[in-house]
Amino acid sequence: MEQLLRNFFLYLSKNMTLTAAARKWGLRFGASRFVAGETIAEAIATVRDLNRKGLLCTLDHLGEFVFRVEEANESADYCIRTLEAIHQAGVNCNLSVKLTQLGLDISRELCVGNMRRILDAAKRFGNNFVRIDMEDYAHNETTLEILEELLRDYDNVGTVIQAYLYKSAADIERLKEKRVNLRLVKGAYKESPEVAWPDKADVDENYKQLIRQHLLNGNYAAIATHDDNIINYVKQLVEQEQIPRDQFEFQMLYGIRPQRQVELAKEGYRMRVYVPFGNDWYGYFMRRLAERPANVAFVLKGLFKA
């Protein structure tokens, strides 16, 4: 049943009609638990509150798969305004972006141009860090190629490696000498067993191996997990290998296990919260339901209270 629910919500996440309708509804039906408002001001207020609790943040203006040049450029402009707002507010926060939101499906040149504009702005506004989110497998290799191109001119950019993909260990080795700050995740898209492990136990084991590989390479790891087994594995690994705490951080999604986030920060670990915002929340919300079907109960409660 859990796998059926996961497949169902992943299918819904790609439905363009429902995506368009969701933009009109606003953050209803439980989505506001996972999305920090629709405007930059609302997002900054959330970040400020999280910072007060000892938590670092990264903001993500939601959106993906744009198909018009104007939309891609507007998305880049919005990212730049977000970086400026972070700088002006003096909050401890990075930025995450998706290449499809910046025009990757229109043209690579357009996308890279928009990324350069964003990275230049990040340099101007306090030399902030920008994370390129990894999307579905169809965009994986191109994303890595663009990252490698950008790394020739910028040192404030990194990306994400997904543990459910067979190729990820080779990708970490490929980036080893570039000293890239990588976010390591299990993966949230529905992929073919030809490219990804279908069994959770295999994904979990590969995730541990990727964490170990990247940390022992001496590079910075952002370990994005809500799984206590993985968290405990990391704690034991860094103690055994004498890896300094400033070489890694834990990351969790806004709205999921907030008390655990504060606990880790109080234990002296860097703890960063991934904070999405904007009106294009539908696909992101559906993937959160797919990852953890228990979240559906929360949404149903919200519906009946409405």
Contact between residue 215 and residue 193 where contact means Cβ atoms under 8 Å apart: no
199 is catalytic: no
Query: Strand 130-132 to strand 157-162: parallel, antiparallel, or no bridges (unpaired)?
Result: parallel
Cα dihedral sign, 142-60-176-209: negative
133 is catalytic: yes
Nearest to 34 by CA among 283, 250, 260: 283
Q: Coil, helix or strand for 80?
A: helix
Catalytic pick among 60, 105, 133, 171: 133
Catalytic pick among 183, 270, 272, 288: 183
Which residues are within 8 A (CB) of 228 and not within 5 positions of it... i.e. 6 or more apart? 260
Nearest to 134 by CA among 31, 216, 60: 60
CA distances from 84 to 88, 130, 201 (A): 6, 13, 42
Between CA 109 and CA 146 the distance in angstroms is: 10
User: Catalytic residues, which ones?
Assistant: 133, 183
